[in-house]
Chains A and B, each alone.
Chain A
């Protein structure tokens, strides 16, 4: 899969050579060329995504076939006859060769029949989608906390580049980012939930409960999630902003007497946020799919925690469907990022990362 090479590129101002020796296209001709490239990229993505998804589904399905256990026997108990177990297997798509079973499963997956969970004994689709919604809600909350903080930290660092503030923030963020998520979670739990009693220890989202209460219960897990992404994101903002500040177009804007607010909004923010946005898209996929660690620690009913339960109980149906959903989400997040980048950055380069 090709990814647009934005991340480590210096933010080029409009009209400046883009490193390939050719001047950037200008005027109307450039516009139509650009539109052609956008369509080409989106078209390529629409071909790539199903292919990657197919590969992921085959890999996942094959791996999960290796999970030991006899679900038919487990479901029917020790007094069922061999014939009964076989009938159950046929009914649940567990009979036949791996290829037959794969085709049965993938066909069902795309037609909405995701099979029945061995553990919960109900169709796996509503369970997975329900947990996915919970995970997405938590991810959204984490994003709301994460984005402003990292933008502020990163831009403060960029404007103070090389000074003590910059170094102090870098060192504390780097250290914080290497501390495992569950350790940060445990420390927060001990201080804020056990010590200060400001938050509940269990964050199980009770959808019927009061919204404020639900938000309060979700605060600690959201903070842990946000903290684990903070360092990388702040770093990205710092690099982007520093690049924009040192670029010639920034000096021009300052020298022609634009008010600082306009410079920040029109010249710095746009250029600084493009690489950040791409990184956010990559993380969004992971975040939406749920963080197994944070959800398990806080007993939050998200998709990640569900996958852990499915793995513990050897629930192949739930595991296969859940992993597939995670893959779909990750790929869609990448596509969404591309679209956002195209909307934000008119001079984007559509080249594969390797070239």
Chain B
């Protein structure tokens, strides 16, 4: 599975490009993104899609669980006295080898799952978009240098690269956020760069430059708003990859450490008991899958409605 968010097609670039040619950018510097009704119309189109609504509800549930699990009286660390007990009324998902409630741990695990992913995705998007816009705007040696650097970074499979970086810098939450940001940025930068290159030939860019606007201003007020759809799609795609990557690292034993109720770690710790107590593994696994798939489906829906 290609973990880097590099799968955006070029269709959305074409759509964005076709619209903006008509906008007199000297007067309305933000181009098509400035239309006020567009955002509401897009939201309405999204809400008509059942997969989007279901996914959004799932993500919302996990966010509530992550923020409020200690308010629900859940105890993910306490020993109930029964190790590896099958699911029952008192323990809906059974208990693990240390007698801890799998239900409480699965809900509490959303905390660490959502601690790194969103921040990492935001960092990756900001970093990747900045580099992509710079490379696409300046071309020349800046572009070449960045692209060759990214070529080197993509030679290694992303997970192997991540394993090396994590063993070098550790797997604390701030370190993981920076690592995810840096590892995912090149893929995003490439796509944003392609989008910017498509915009560069347009008249509004030329007129802005002829007007004497500074490079920074052209990039920030002309180019970024016009490649915004691509940026938003890349951000959602990288969010799902970032959540998956942190769960994967924990699963490999390189992320969260015991006694954290993290989902990936729970699978890692309990896989040895899978024959005796499948419930210790299956519920955290389904939790990861539901969150990752839901975010991915949200990204797909945004991509299709834009």
- B-binding residues in A (CB < 8 A): 1, 8, 52, 55-56, 59-60, 63-68, 174-175, 177-183, 186-187, 189-190, 193-194, 201, 228-229, 232, 285-286, 289, 291-293, 296-297, 304, 307-308, 311-312, 314, 319, 323, 326-327, 330-331, 354
Contact = CB atoms under 8 A, between A and B. Distances in A.
Contacts of A180: 244, 247-248, 288-289, 292
Most chain A CB within 10 A, of B148, B248, B282, B285, is at B285
B285 A182 contact: yes
Interface in B1-27: 1-2, 10
Contacts of A293: 159, 248, 251-252
Nearest to B7: A232
B167 A67 contact: yes
Nearest to A314: B167
17 contacts: A56-B156, A64-B164, A178-B293, A186-B281, A187-B285, A228-B1, A292-B163, A292-B252, A293-B248, A293-B251, A304-B160, A311-B164, A311-B166, A311-B254, A319-B164, A323-B160, A326-B157
B275 A201 contact: yes
A311 B282 CA distance: 26
Nearest to B168: A66
A22 to B, nearest CB: 22
Contact of A52 (B152, B248, B289): B152
B296 to A, nearest CB: 4
B253 A308 contact: yes
A177 B155 contact: no
A297 B166 CA distance: 20
B278 interface: yes
A292 B267 contact: no
A308 B163 contact: yes
Contacts of B163: 292, 307-308, 311
B301 to A, nearest CB: 12
B46 interface: no
Contacts of A319: 164, 167
8 closest pairs, A vs B, by CB?
A66-B168, A178-B296, A311-B167, A228-B1, A55-B152, A186-B285, A183-B289, A183-B285
Given A190-B281, A289-B157, A330-B156, A179 B292 contact: yes
Contacts of A8: 10
A177 B166 CA distance: 25
A8 B14 CA distance: 15
A42 B296 CA distance: 39
A307 B160 contact: yes
Interface in B165-199: 165-170
Contacts of A286: 157
B286 interface: yes
A291 B159 CA distance: 9
Contacts of A189: 274, 281
Contacts of B264: 182
A289 B244 contact: no
B167 A183 contact: no
Contacts of A178: 240, 292-293, 296-297
A84 B267 CA distance: 42
Contacts of A181: 1
